[in-house]
Structure 1
Amino acid sequence: MARSLRAWRGRARLRTIALIGIDGSGKTTQAHRLAEALSAAGHPATYHRNAGGRRWLGRLAHRLGRPDAQRLVGRNGMLAVESALRWLAIALALLSCLVTGRTAVMDRYSACQYASIRAHGGQRWERLTRVGYRLFPAPQVTFLLTVDPAEAYRRIERRGTDHESMDWLTAAATAYRTLPEYASFVVVDAGGSPDEVSRRIRAHLTEWLPGDRPAATGPDDADPLATGPGRPGPVSAQARP
């Protein structure tokens, strides 16, 4: 029987939130905003960027005259480096929050690595990676930010710090939808403005965290974590079986 995320209400405290999705979906922006909003609302939180080093490898490849990281170290080499670096980043983030008692807001988590491996066609690597990542607890809530690959491509080109192909973005979007963990994700439409997406995320958390919702005196008071005008937009929550 499906178990709703609301069943977590009343637990001692919120320990880990993960934001996942394809490049250009706004994970970093929303993770920063969420950590700041939670802290302001009395839930001390720390942002953690759990990168796998693919962007760094890509830049290194360009400097060495190769078109991308895969051409530099090979697909298997790239997946091995990415899996190891992300594992280390997640482990350090969890250890830090265990010591400090702060909520960990994770910009990327293990699901991002599984999706990356699937998008690269490395199913054998996924099995091995899952063994190593099994050490990490599942976040209490994982937000999957979804956006049309074409819009994600435009965002990446606008920021001008890296480049991703449409083929890769489309494959990554499909990979997230096919993960066995997909049913446990809170799927958030990230195609709107950053403020709209933030309200959708916070709308779920204000309902989920006990004691966070004050008596509303107006339409903008319904979300104690909101920083902008307007009411939260819809969010699709799917439960873990």
Structure 2
Amino acid sequence: MFITFEGIDGSGKSTQARLLAEALGAAGHSVVRTREPGGSPGAEEIRALVLQGDPERWSAETEILLFTAARRDHLERTITPALAAGNVVVCDRFADSTRMYQGLSRGDLRAQVDALHRLMIGREPDLTFLIDIDPAVGLSRAKGRQGHEERFEDMGLGMQTQMRAGFLALAKEFAPRFRVIDGARPAEVVAAEVRALATAALEARGQ
């Protein structure tokens, strides 16, 4: 089963991806936890290119190509082999992030994102958790990390607000696989809800 986590910067999705992977592992599932951009050696190299540097370093069109290249390598080298071996794959971000960050917030490029996705990726997650949070809170959290991968955070609150609305719209568009989770609650409360929903989905598949 392929499970992804989405949300604006600072939503807590990375923490929740880690907590779910740990919980499923403790319950006896074989789990591979990964992330995007990244998750394979080549994709990690592209990660450094797209998440660091000046906010205007790349055009949205160039970003679409870079993220799709990273995702293809990730799919070939990590996700597909792990699923074929019977693992549950838990991934922090996937194509939905590209649909939002490049396809919506940086121009009306959703059609290009989807066309490349169909051509080069060709699969969606089985289950997606959208960790929803107030954009101002998320941006404050993200900037408080003081890391080196803040290129998108540096684009400001307006972008984060647009992203949140876009993710919620995307959850309606792909309703069968999305679960919208209130991320404003304590992490352990969020994790308990995520774990219960993921467990139910796995049981429904006989896993």
User: Structures share a fold, TM > 0.5?
Assistant: yes
Q: 2 CA distance for matches of 1:55 and 1:145?
A: 24
In the other structure, the counterpart of 1:141 is 127
User: In percent, how many aligned pairs have the same letter?
Assistant: 27
**Aligned pairs (5 A) from 1:63-102:** 67-68=54-55, 71-102=56-87
Q: 1 CA distance for matches of 2:142 and 2:25?
A: 29
Q: 2 CA distance for matches of 1:199 and 1:132?
A: 37
Q: 1 CA distance for matches of 2:190 and 2:48?
A: 25
1:172 aligns with 2:172: no
C-alpha RMSD over aligned residues: 2.3
Larger Rg: 1
Q: Assess if the C-alpha contact under 8 Å between 2:68 and 2:120 holds in 1.
A: no
Q: Assess if the C-alpha contact under 8 Å between 2:125 and 2:177 holds in 1.
A: no
**Aligned pairs (5 A) from 1:1-241:** 15-51=1-37, 53=46, 56-59=49-52, 61=53, 67-68=54-55, 71-116=56-101, 117-121=103-107, 122-132=109-119, 135-136=122-123, 138-161=124-147, 162-163=149-150, 164=153, 165-179=156-170, 180-182=173-175, 184-210=177-203
Query: C-alpha offsets along residues 196-216 of structure 1, whole Å, 9 cap, x if unaligned?
Result: 2111101223333439xxxxx
Stretches of structure 1 that go unaligned for 5 or more consecutive residues are 1-14, 62-66, 212-241
Cα distance, 1:35–1:73 mapped onto 2, change above 3 Å? same
Cα distance, 1:209–1:72 mapped onto 2, change above 3 Å? closer
Cα distance, 1:134–1:86 mapped onto 2, change above 3 Å? closer
Q: 1 CA distance for matches of 2:198 and 2:58?
A: 41
Q: 1 CA distance for matches of 2:176 and 2:16?
A: 21
Q: 1 CA distance for matches of 2:114 and 2:80?
A: 25
Q: Assess if the C-alpha contact under 8 Å between 2:68 and 2:117 holds in 1.
A: no
In the other structure, the counterpart of 2:42 is none
Stretches of structure 2 that go unaligned for 5 or more consecutive residues are 39-45
Q: CA deviation at 1:93?
A: 2.7
Q: Assess if the C-alpha contact under 8 Å between 2:2 and 2:88 holds in 1.
A: yes
Report the TM-score when normalising by structure 2: 0.80
Q: 2 CA distance for matches of 1:17 and 1:58?
A: 23
Cα distance, 1:183–1:173 mapped onto 2, change above 3 Å? farther
Query: C-alpha offsets along residues 142-200 of structure 1, whole Å, 9 cap, x if unaligned?
Result: 11111110110111011111431111211211221233224531111111222121111
Amino acid at match of 1:28: S
Q: Assess if the C-alpha contact under 8 Å between 2:83 and 2:89 holds in 1.
A: no
Q: Assess if the C-alpha contact under 8 Å between 2:36 and 2:93 holds in 1.
A: yes
Aligned residues: 188
Report the TM-score when normalising by structure 1: 0.69
Q: 2 CA distance for matches of 1:105 and 1:58?
A: 21
Give runs of ≥4 in structure 1 deviating > 6 Å. none
Partner SS, residue 105 of structure 1: strand
Q: Assess if the C-alpha contact under 8 Å between 1:54 and 1:78 holds in 2.
A: no
